[in-house]
Chain A
């Protein structure tokens, strides 16, 4: 909403500067986003000039050669095609160098051999910088504007305009009148209501109005006007439209727009000769169409309220008029509509049609439901004053307008309690009176407040409480810490555990990332996941803003792959990251059920681990690195996880594993298939893992008691075994563990060898063993016996033998 200061000053005294006013309005909730200087399009020397002579152009009868005098600026010759000129007229002359628009600069030119030292301009050209309207001639200046005067300056075509950024509750501020009321409250002034036409003794209107949908349109005012002259608007009106950012059409349309801006009530003029004698306000029927003013054919349905004549829709009620009944330069009779339309009905229609016109957005926010008759009279006043039309019958009001005021109750004690300020009954009453409301004592506890119906946002006590707070000033509310019962303010266990998992992964050397919740389907494709894989079973977004927002993520790995490619492109050598985030699965069967949300832990690791060091070689990330991170994580959280080989479509054959708790799969870890990496332009091994965090939450062991440190020394033994290739390390370790008995504390694989030193089909696994008894120091002999037993067992069960 734009508020030109000169216009505002017509309606109320503004005893301050534009910047100060902006600040004050902002502090009462009417946010002024900017104070803008609006100027006429014409920049440069445009001077008043008198036409001394005008003779036809010798080679083009459409043109005339004028000699003009611009006082002290001199005399000039101008070639013009304008027809509304006579000797003695005072007109604006744009001298060479004047810019009317970005690509429109006036130059000395020759027309058919005759020099032209400038251009005589129309108001549209000077104010808007666009070619003159149909039928609009050169702007005729009054003779009190002396020759040589700077025309733009003389008209004052440059002023400050407040740009309001309004919240939807402030519907009343979508009009100059509403803003004027706020300004009056701020500075203690009085609002000057604009003049309206007096209803003269005229015959009743002939047009019949039928309100078929009284909920959608409870009140309709129809005014019949004749002797219509839809010429270009006078300069003052054009300038006003320029300052609020509207275009100009003709004086009839322009005045209805002007009235809307001034009073906040949208009006619509029809060409009465193109309209039947009946106006029906009804819902559109399925299949009906309307060519609207913007040249679009709109398909209508029962949700959309229309104005129809006897046979067809002629306008979208409260949204936009139809092309066929538009007021054009040919129009001679006008039917002026001033109606109240239901905010929800207009809002729904505008949303369906995607057509948020100035009128529609005002109706949807709420227009003063009592002001339609007055608004019609205001427009009639202006139309008659500008000799644009004459009212020929009494405006017809059909339906019922709201009362201009409504009565609300407020308890001053409630105000004080909600705001936390000591405010007495008198202070509350005074604050409301400053808003221009009438206040009376209803009872000991209550005040009765009469508010104008334009304030569609005020309907109950709490609305008035806010009004008092606004007037009193939010800055006068003190800051107190609440006093009350202590409650246990904690992070719930689930939230705490998420933090713990993140912190453990950080301690393991990974960087946390935060990615979008939308699934990059192109990445999913590139990763080579086959159709039907569960990652493709995603929740669809009905109205994505772009291609990338069609699906919700089912896994963190595709979005994390994006993080990898981004960082590789940014020359990172190693990327080791994790994310803890929500993944989504469609709800089973029931389409109305909410999709399943699960928290997932994703890990991705690529490239050398850690920085280059002068004293140590680096290793590259791989399956075992991420597996190690997971083992550390699960170990710390006390989740017993088993790892088994699995064929996962993302992972290279033999390089993927499944994580199991009991028999329940809870995630996977593996190295990507080389083609997946290649399709994303990546080299080297990419290892990823994903774990369902819910299982961690459910299966973690809560530490209950801790054993005292061991009292007796341990005995260590190393064991190098030759093991057939097909026997897994875990299987050997398990046999050792079992055979070791109660004194075996730890079995740790510390070396692995395959190669020329051992025979083909075998590998060497070296285990470190730790033995300890709780009550004494074990003797060498005891330990040797145990190791012997372990060797026998491991030989029998796995075929392994001691490496010599």
Chain B
């Protein structure tokens, strides 16, 4: 028993010395665990009291508890002392110095805009699909109601790789490819973004390589009013909640009726340079899928109808961010690219 009591004293003394010598909180914590932790020396000793003869247990218990309390107090005191004595840095920072900026890149503006457009249409129930960039004359033209020698072929001049193979001039070939995969299932709702190619002008508003997004819906009972509804939603999500849209009759061989779609300008109809004083900005072409195209896709135009639209991604990006030259997107001037952030969420 005497022996055990001495052990407690020794342990206490040992711990007291260590606590005194400790210089930081981590050390103090280590000491606490070493003596008072679940497997700490004093804890283990206290636990062994149960094996001692009953007559000595109360006394030993008292001694041990006193030792425990003592250590706890010493630890607490020392802790307070250490916290208080923590050094105040002598030199103040120049808080106006630049911070250490993390190295993070950026997406290209066309990717930002494409992604935002995709998300708007996904939200409206359209699924994203991708198509080929090199197409056959059949899918790019014939299947879209543009036979050989059709005058509409002169509307867009194409880069041919061979007599029958060309770089697609529009994302519309995806329409018939997807319809052929899915017909006669309805509803079919897709958006197909991608690169398209047109031979000819290379100027501030035309690039031989640019991006389009095709929109196609086929279902029972779809009407032009539904097309207008979807495009109005798009215009408002993309350009702001107060935008209006306007449909003007137009012509595309693969839709009928066809429409040119304008969105009201940021000047709210006042007329400005962007809209050439008209108050309206031309953003896309659209229409009801032509019966010939539906049939080519494997649908019966007597039972289903559809609408389609083709949007120029550069065009949307240029309008949205006031970019005056389409070639900026392809020159990749880093200082130009650094201007873009995905700030489109405001209306989402």
By a beta-carbon cutoff of 8 Å, the part of chain A in contact with chain B is: 26-29, 31, 167-170, 343-344, 347-348, 351, 364-366, 417-421, 460, 462-463, 465-466, 469-470, 474-475, 477-482, 484-492, 494-495, 499, 502-503, 505-518, 539-546, 549, 552, 563, 566-567, 570, 572, 575-578, 582, 584, 591-592, 594-595, 597, 609-611, 613-616
Contacts and interface: CB of A to CB of B under 8 A. Distances in A.
B111 A512 contact: yes
Interface in B83-142: 97-98, 100-101, 103-108, 110-111, 115, 118, 121-130, 132-136
A370 B118 CA distance: 49
Interface stretch (B54-62, B63-71, B74-82, B218-226): B218-226
Nearest to A543: B160
B97 A594 contact: no
B161 interface: yes
B219 A566 contact: no
- Give the interface size class of chain B: 35 or more
B217 A482 contact: yes
Contacts of A343: 151
B95 to A, nearest CB: 13
Interface in B280-309: 288, 290-291, 305
Given A479-B229, A488-B127, A492-B129, A168 B330 contact: no
A591 B225 CA distance: 45
Contacts of A518: 208-209
A516 B330 contact: yes
Given A420-B223, A466-B258, A514-B110, A479 B232 contact: yes
B250 to A, nearest CB: 6
5 contacts: A170-B251, A418-B257, A541-B161, A542-B159, A611-B101
A514 B256 contact: no
B149 A462 contact: no
Contact of A567 (B124, B202, B333): B333
The 10 closest A-B pairs by CB, nearest first: A420-B225, A29-B249, A420-B223, A167-B251, A509-B103, A466-B257, A474-B247, A168-B151, A479-B228, A506-B105
Given A419-B223, A482-B222, A506 B104 contact: yes
Contacts of B133: 517, 582, 584, 597
B200 A489 contact: no
Contacts of A488: 127
Given A477-B247, A489-B125, A510-B105, A595 B226 contact: no
Given A27-B248, A31-B260, 5 more contacts: A29-B250, A462-B256, A481-B226, A512-B108, A542-B160
A544 B106 CA distance: 33
Given A420-B223, A469-B224, A549-B159, A31 B248 contact: yes
Q: Which of B101, B331, B335, B338 has the most CB of A within 10 A?
A: B331
A29 B225 contact: no
A584 B134 CA distance: 9
Interface of B: 97-98, 100-101, 103-108, 110-111, 115, 118, 121-130, 132-136, 149, 151-152, 154-155, 159-162, 164-165, 167, 186-187, 189, 195, 197, 199-200, 202, 208-209, 217, 219-226, 228-233, 245-251, 256-260, 288, 290-291, 305, 329-335, 337-338
Contacts of A508: 105
Interface of B is mostly: mixed
Contacts of A486: 125
A597 B246 contact: no
Contacts of A539: 134, 161
Given A27-B248, A466-B257, A506-B107, A489 B127 contact: yes
B128 A492 contact: yes
A343 B152 CA distance: 12
Nearest to A171: B151
A462 B145 CA distance: 14
B225 A419 contact: yes
B126 A489 contact: yes
Nearest to A166: B251
A347 B229 contact: no
B230 A484 contact: no
B128 A495 contact: yes
Contacts of B334: 511, 567, 570, 572, 575, 577
A169 B107 CA distance: 41
Contact of B223 (A417, A460, A570): A417
A184 to B, nearest CB: 17
A315 B278 CA distance: 46
Contact of B226 (A482, A507, A615): A482
B229 A481 contact: yes
